[in-house]
Amino acid sequence: MGRQPCCDKVGLKKGPWTAEEDKKLINFILNNGQCCWRAVPKLAGLLRCGKSCRLRWTNYLRPDLKRGLLSEYEEKMVIDLHAQLGNRWSKIASHLPGRTDNEIKNHWNTHIKKKLRKMGIDPVTHKPLSTITNDQITNIEQPENLSIQQENLQEIMQPSSVNDVSIDQSAITEIKLDDDDDNNNNNKNMGTSCINNNNNFDSTIVQEVNNNGFCTDEVPLIEPHEILVPSKSTPSTSSSSSSSSSSNIIEDLKFLPSFDDWPMENNMGFGWENDFSSTLDFLLNDDNDMNNVTYDDSWKFEQLL
């Protein structure tokens, strides 16, 4: 007997989320917490499947998310972690507070892969491309000089300045490879080193920072001041391609508390503090004419305050 679909897909909406749907989902989760995703759409009055709701919340609406492009240092972390963990995006994401697996996966596929290839490094094996056959590299942009690959590699693994470090160092703990089937996958040759010995650099970035003793899967929540909130008045490189459906209500808020900061309400610990609470009230209050607010990048929360 085959598995039943996660939900009855008949009559369910697909595609980009609207502001109204986001509002309903946020409202519901704030009042009820995260539980039983299957039941969420029905209870929240959404014509979506539970899976879609979960994804929208975890990848976009969660208040502890960072927005915008990955910093140079985060990118280096991703490369390092990918060398150890492979395409285990959720594991990688667990080392980068405020980043989602989807975000990292997208960034890897659109930016990092190209960057590595340009440097003559195979993004899959993290080895120099020169080790593969000529046929394999016909479609890959050739590095000008393979001899500089190692230097380049060193360079990208070394933060150029402290300012590049936008993630919580304390969140970075020693990578502990799982005991399960990891031993059977192609990561086993990577060991605890970022790149094999031939590539001549280690993963001290990841391994040395273990001050707070966090479990690798217990990523500490980022503090409000750590969250980058791009302002329209000072255009940043982030979210340059935000579409009308991809703007985030949360990202437009000035103050973003971590879950740690939320007062315990309900059994899930949801709740908002002070400024954010009133701010959110505004968003969620039907009396406010949200329908007249354009839900795209031109809309900034400051305008509503």
Q: Which residues of this chain interact with DNA, rule CB under 7 A?
A: 1, 3-4, 6, 9, 13-17, 35-38, 48, 50-52, 54-56, 59-60, 69, 87-91, 101-103, 105-107, 109-111, 180-181, 239-246, 296
Residues 133, 41 contacting (CB under 8 angstroms): no
The distance of closest approach from Cβ of residue 97 to DNA in the complex, given in angstroms and rounded to an integer, is 15
What whole-number distance in Å separates Cα of residue 66 and Cα of residue 82? 20
Backbone angles phi, psi at 143, to 5 degrees: -70, 150
User: In this complex, which beta carbon is closest to DNA, that of residue 14 or of residue 225?
Assistant: 14
The distance of closest approach from Cβ of residue 52 to DNA in the complex, given in angstroms and rounded to an integer, is 4
CB atoms near residue 219 (< 10 Å) = 22
User: In this complex, which beta carbon is closest to DNA, that of residue 25 or of residue 206?
Assistant: 25
User: In this complex, which beta carbon is closest to DNA, that of residue 32 or of residue 244?
Assistant: 244
The distance of closest approach from Cβ of residue 80 to DNA in the complex, given in angstroms and rounded to an integer, is 16
Of the candidates 255, 257, 254, 251, which has an alpha carbon nearest to the alpha carbon of residue 296?
251
The distance of closest approach from Cβ of residue 274 to DNA in the complex, given in angstroms and rounded to an integer, is 28
User: In this complex, which beta carbon is closest to DNA, that of residue 235 or of residue 263?
Assistant: 235
The distance of closest approach from Cβ of residue 51 to DNA in the complex, given in angstroms and rounded to an integer, is 6
The distance of closest approach from Cβ of residue 246 to DNA in the complex, given in angstroms and rounded to an integer, is 3
User: In this complex, which beta carbon is closest to DNA, that of residue 8 or of residue 289?
Assistant: 8
User: In this complex, which beta carbon is closest to DNA, that of residue 170 or of residue 244?
Assistant: 244
The distance of closest approach from Cβ of residue 150 to DNA in the complex, given in angstroms and rounded to an integer, is 26
What whole-number distance in Å separates Cα of residue 194 and Cα of residue 157? 10
How deeply is 133 buried, as exposed, middle or buried, from its count of CB atoms within 10 A (0-12, 13-18, 19+)? Answer: exposed
User: In this complex, which beta carbon is closest to DNA, that of residue 34 or of residue 152?
Assistant: 34
The distance of closest approach from Cβ of residue 237 to DNA in the complex, given in angstroms and rounded to an integer, is 9
User: In this complex, which beta carbon is closest to DNA, that of residue 111 or of residue 118?
Assistant: 111
Max CA pair span of the chain? 65
